[in-house]
Every structure is written in structure tokens, then in C-alpha cells.
Structure 1
């Protein structure tokens, strides 16, 4: 019996040793991701922590995390086997911020955005009243129902779908536990929000796409020649590794850095600006820092995103989260309801015009959807494109805001469509081509 016990103990210790060898270098990232997502889902989206742990954080290796929720302090902590405790703290108006080791909530920014959220007495999407019960003769409602049914098959893990056609809501569905009031994380769809804010600044004459000499830190070398256009197109020539499976530039930035806008700032050139397309979340946070530099005060920076864009188009549910330095995490952290995400798509479908007011220049929208050389027709100015035919059964004029785990705001001008899909599974496991083909078939019923 003693020999058996000893053998079992050795086996357990060996197993723990293997796990430690594999995961210990990444524990900071695992517990950082787990704590941040748990905090935001619970305190920003008002969701049940158990469901968040099993669903949102229920994938390898994040599913190793164990949690502590402090409702009084409004914080969430995570550990793995009791190791590498990381804590995220909720800060009203700014969402949850992951605290670096050794920090506490006293380090959080004290300011918060001042928002004007006056309800508009009009039907959704332009107002805050119930959508009009509109019937379009050309819309095949039975086919639309098929598209929704397929989107919500259990294996697809879809949480929300909203379809706007000719400025009207024609379809909407939510998974159990979610509703039109549920805020959902956009992940990299936030990059498109950042692009839109720059579009507003461009319309107001505050910036120019070919503007260079963007940061004092670049004045002494060739980085001074990098333009806003280069940054928006992700072809700055700066070094960057976007790999979420290991310790890399992007994981270090999101889960270790106090000031995310600085991580890309100090990277060297590895190619000529404008010549190499390299997707970088660091670029988006660098642009957030650039936007901050355009204002005389931190409060103006916080307010501008909402005053001139988000609240102006009635996305009142949206929250942009900040890093410890107070920068909006322009690469990844924005929360909004599916209906409000659809409003963002409608702004772009309407060529920057919101119900009669030009928020962003039409020329900026045209620029946004022009493919970047080297992206195979798949990328524009912080938006994804179908110009290269990635989705063969979908019009080539489709462009979209995309995020991790299958967050999408699809804009299809030729079909007068905005389609929002939010979930936990991305293409090809959730087949975007099939989903959009079925939706388009529903509004193309007369062409059959």
C-alpha cells in the first residue's frame, strides 16, 4: 500500500511539475486575462461570475484560473494553483483596469468622461423609442428566420444578432441570459472606434492623414517620417509581434503594461514606413495616445470620444475602458449592446452621416474601405474588407469591424445592410460566409 501511495504521489507531483513548466512563464498573462475579463463582465456588463468563468473564460489555459470577487470594492482577482494573483478594479465611467503587480486602486485615474445622454424621441435606430414594426415586401422573413436559427446553433455560441435593413431593424435575437440591454465586449472592434474618432478629428480640421513627426520620441530617427495614414493602415514599419498564444508584444501590452500607448512607441523600425503590412494592436493604442496629445487637458480627451462620436449617435450603452495611465485601450476594450454596435455600423453605411448631421467626412469613409497593399484586399483603415473575396458569396463591398471570438459589425452598402453578430466562436468555426449569404438571401428574395 505504501508503495502505491508513493507512486501516486510521485505521479501527482510529476504532473504538477509538467503543468508548472508549461504554464508558469505565462501565469501572469493567464491570471491577468482572467481577472480583467471577470471584472468587466461582472461590474460593467452585470453578469453572473460563475457563467463568466465557465463561458467567457472557459478555454485553455484561462480555464485554469480561480476567482475572488469583491463586490464592496468592485474588483475581481484570479490565481492559478494559488499563484500569480492578478486583480482588476472597476472604475465608474472607465470600466475595469487590470492592475500591475504592486499597484492598487489608488493608482487609477480619478477623472471620468462627462457624458450627455439625452434620449431622442424617435424609433430605433435613430432614437431611443421602440423600433418601427416595418414590413418590406422584398424581405423573405422565413429565410431570415433560417439564418437566425443557424446562427444560434449550440456549437456556434452566438450571443446576439441584429440586422438593420434600409435604416430599420428587421431581425434581432439573443442567446439565453442575454438581451437588448446586455453590454458585450467588442475586443478589436474597438480599433474601428479609434479610427472613427480620428475621422472626426480630420473633419474638424485638427489632423491630416499625411501628417508626420507625430511623437517627440521619434524626432531623432526615421520614425519621424511615419504618418497617421501609415498607422491606420498598419504598415508603419515598426516591429511588433501579435501572438496571443505566448508571451509576445501584444500580450505583454494588454496584461503587463501600465501605459499601453507607449509599448509600440518605443519599438524600432524593421521596414520602410508604408511598405509592410503588419497587424498590430500596439498601433491602435499608440493612436489613442496620439489622440490624447491633441488636447490641452485629460478631461477633454476623455470627453471627446463620447461627445463628438459615441453619444452623438446614441450609443449610450458604450463604455471605453482605460489602462492604468488613463488612456482608452483603443485596440481592445469597448462595451456596448448589440443594438448600439449596429448604430456604429449604420453611421458608416450612411457614409458618415447620422440622421442629417455629417459626423465624419464621406471622403474618410471612402479612404477607410480602400485596401492596404500587402493585406490581400482584407484590410483598410482599421476596418476589415472583403475586397479580396475572402467571403466568396458576399458582395466585395462588405467591410467590417471585427473582434476576437467572432465579434462583428458588418456593413454591406450594396445591400443596404448592417449585420451585427456577437459570440464566442469565430470564423471558420462560425462560418461568416454561410451566415451572411443566408441573411443576404432574405433581402434578395425578388432576385431569385
Structure 2
């Protein structure tokens, strides 16, 4: 009997130790699942079953058990029954992971939107385009290239090809249509960068100025410019690793205010000579925008008034953290056609149907290669300057999101290509196929 008690005690102690050691992992695991579930069900209007079988169906996230409350609009996720996280949906702000002290009765500020509708055809409105046949396009080859990404169910969710402002190919995976909101993940960084371009065009900010961070004024970080932050070349410490507990996973799934972590990091590299991809930097930049725009309400409104609704991306919602900051690193949702409008804005160097949203020079700025990035990165956009994709023009640049969310902008070809999915793919082969069909 004593031996049995000792064995049971040993097992109990072992279990407690396992839980303690893995608690942070379980916290992040259940946090990812709760946030993903809430956004998918309440913002993207998918079912819980669909979400669990697709977005949350990868290890170790699939170890969590998800539930939704459709009336009160929240989701909970339990990691092995040991730890439960909750994410709440707020109209206009999307979903957010909350802590136990979250007060659901307190109404947060929300962006005031003006979703203009007109009778113009896409992209300057949402009326169906007239059929246009281009003699230079081999449509059979084009369809073959697009179809190549839909061989596996759920691998690709949407592909949209826009040539000379005309949709020439559009295809959706099972469960998705032209009206489906899809998460852009890190493509949100490119949206945030564009807000800086608009503010610079309006004379509200100069990206070459030193970053207005009071905590940096008594050490070497005071020399970091907004430009360095936009190029992710500040020299600040940051660990962007999604396979373990790292700076980025702690920020996204544990922090109430996501603008703080990067601000508190020390210099570990040389300013303007230490490119290091950092989602924390993007959220720090979001916090600077809130500071510079003067009030929380103006910060919330500005992104929509001056960019998103101005070019008719009416489906877009950028989610905020618990303290009301736009999560500029990761959380913008929109339909593929609205994401396509964003690509076209850059293709036309900031001109939208006669309105200059940002200066043409801003387009040149975002594609200027960041020092020490080996030609791969600009100002919150990715580049092909060093032929990362050998069969694609070096002038091509793109917004890039987790799991292969992409907006490719090809200025020489007058072409924008949008792709959404759950898996990475052979980008060079796909793009080559489309280019071959057009050229």
C-alpha cells in the first residue's frame, strides 16, 4: 500500500512539473487557437467545425479544444484541459485575446467608417467588370498556372490576377468566394507602412526623423530613425521565431499592449546595418502613429478614412490589441478583391482614380533595398531585387504573410497577383506560369 501511495505521489509530482514547465507553451497554444477561432467565426463568418478542420488543424494547435458562444460572441480554447484562454469579438475592432480582468461591459472606441458605394466597375467600385479579352494573353496557359495551386483541398483559398486593371483570372477554394474575408497576416505590415506614406504626403510626418520614443533619449537608441524602423534595420534585439516561446509569440498571445515589447529592447546590432525581421517593430510603428495622430479616435479613424475606405477596401478590418492599438504586424482581414485594390494602388504609384493618396516617390521608397537585407526587403515590403525568384522580373515586389499570403506587384507587366492559402507553394513556378501566359 505504501509503495502504491509513493507511486501515485510521484506521478502527481511529475504531472505538476510537466504542467509548470509547459505552462507558457500551453498559454500560447490555447491563445493562438482562441484568437483564430473567434476571428474566423465572428469576423470571417466561418463555422467552428470548418475553422477546426482548417485554420487550427496543425500541430500543436490542434491539441486545443475550441468552443464558441454565438450570442455573446466569444471563443474559448482549452489546452489539454489544463489551461483555457478566451478571445472576444468587438464590432469594428475584430477579435482580441482577453485577460481575466477584461470588462466586457466597457464599450471601446471604434473607427468611424465611410464605406462609399458607387456605380463604377471594379477596381474603382464594386460593379462587375465588362468582359475584356486581351489578344496577348494565352488564357489556357493562364488557367493552367492558376489551377496548379488548387490540387490539394484547402491548400489554396484564393487566387486573383489583375492585368491592366482587369480581372483576368479568379478562383476560390472550397468554402471561399469573392466575398470571403481572409487574414493577410504580415501583409498588414504593408498597410501600416502605407499609412506612413500618406502622412508624409500630407506633411504630418517625416520618416527620416528620429523615432519619437522618450525612453530612448538617454542612450544610443536615440539615433534610430522612423526610416530605420520601417526597414527593420534599427539594430534592436528581437527574436522572430514561431516554433518556440519567443518575442513574437509572447507579444501576439500574451501582451495587452503589443507596441511595448520592441520599444523596451536594447541595441544588439548596428543602426542601419543590422537587418532583422521583427513584428515587434511593426507594432512599435503602429504605436508611434497613435502618438503622432494626437488622439485615440483619430488614430482609429485615420487608417480607414485616408486609405482603406478611400480606395474602397470596404471589407477590410484591422484588429486591435486590448489597449486599442492596431496589430500592424499581423491582423488585417479583407476579401481578395479588396487586397487586390491595395496592390493596384501601388501599381499606380499612389494614384487612385485621379486622387493622389500618397506621393509617387513613396513607391520608390518602399522598394529601396534595406542595407544588409541582401536585396530582399524594403520598407515593410519584400523585394525581388536580387532575383530571389529567378524567373520573375527584379522590379517585382510584394506584401508577404504567414503561410503564403501574397500580393505581388509587377510594374513592368501592369500586373497584380493575389494568393491566399494555408501552405507555402512554389512561388517562382507559379509566377513564371502567369508571366509566360501574358508575355
Q: Same fold (TM over 0.5)?
A: yes
Tell me what 1:255 maps to: 253
CA spacing shift, 1:153–1:334, aligned 2, 3 Å: same
Tell me what 1:162 maps to: 160
Gaps of at least 5 residues in structure 1 are 1-8
**Residue 98 (structure 1) aligned with residue 100 (structure 2):** no
Q: Give the CA deviation at 1:270.
A: 1.1
Tell me what 1:6 maps to: none
Tell me what 1:197 maps to: 195
Q: Give the CA deviation at 1:87.
A: 0.4
* C-alpha contact (below 8 Å) 1:36/1:87 kept by paired residues: yes
Query: How many Å separate the matches in 1 of 2:433 and 2:25?
Result: 41
Tell me what 1:343 maps to: 341
Q: Which residue of 432, 436, 439 maps to 1:441?
A: 436
Query: How many Å separate the matches in 2 of 1:213 and 1:352?
Result: 25
Query: How many Å separate the matches in 2 of 1:19 and 1:153?
Result: 41
Query: How many Å separate the matches in 2 of 1:404 and 1:263?
Result: 21
Tell me what 2:316 maps to: 318
Task: Write out per-residue CA displacement over residues 347-370 of structure 1, whole angstroms, 9 at most, x where no aligned residue.
Answer: 001111111111111111101001
Tell me what 2:73 maps to: 74
Q: Which residue of 411, 416, 421 maps to 2:419?
A: 421
Query: How many Å separate the matches in 1 of 2:312 and 2:214?
Result: 36
Tell me what 1:3 maps to: none
* C-alpha contact (below 8 Å) 1:100/1:256 kept by paired residues: no
Tell me what 1:4 maps to: none
Q: Give the CA deviation at 1:18.
A: 11
Tell me what 1:216 maps to: 214
Q: How does 1:343-382 map to 2 (within 5 A)?
A: 343-382=341-380
Q: Which runs of 4+ in 1 moved over 4 A?
A: 12-23
2:302 partner SS: helix
User: What is the TM-score when the length of structure 1 is the normalising length?
Assistant: 0.93
2:431 partner SS: helix
Q: Give the CA deviation at 1:296.
A: 2.4
Tell me what 2:267 maps to: 269
* C-alpha contact (below 8 Å) 1:158/1:424 kept by paired residues: yes
CA spacing shift, 1:101–1:30, aligned 2, 3 Å: farther
Query: How many Å separate the matches in 2 of 1:150 and 1:19?
Result: 45
Tell me what 1:290 maps to: 288
Tell me what 2:54 maps to: 55
* C-alpha contact (below 8 Å) 1:100/1:257 kept by paired residues: no
Task: Write out per-residue CA displacement over residues 31-63 of structure 1, whole angstroms, 9 at most, x where no aligned residue.
Answer: 000000000000000001111011101001001
* C-alpha contact (below 8 Å) 2:154/2:174 kept by paired residues: no
Gaps of at least 5 residues in structure 2 are 1-7
Query: How many Å separate the matches in 2 of 1:106 and 1:261?
Result: 25
Number of equivalenced pairs: 431
* C-alpha contact (below 8 Å) 1:260/1:285 kept by paired residues: yes
Q: Give the CA deviation at 1:13.
A: 9.8
User: Superposition RMSD on alpha carbons, in Å?
Assistant: 2.0
1:294 partner SS: helix
Tell me what 1:34 maps to: 33
* C-alpha contact (below 8 Å) 1:76/1:89 kept by paired residues: yes
Q: Give the CA deviation at 1:224.
A: 1.3
Query: How many Å separate the matches in 2 of 1:391 and 1:18?
Result: 48
Q: Give the CA deviation at 1:225.
A: 1.1
Task: Write out per-residue CA displacement over residues 332-384 of structure 1, whole angstroms, 9 at most, x where no aligned residue.
Answer: 00000000000000000111111111111111110100111111111000000
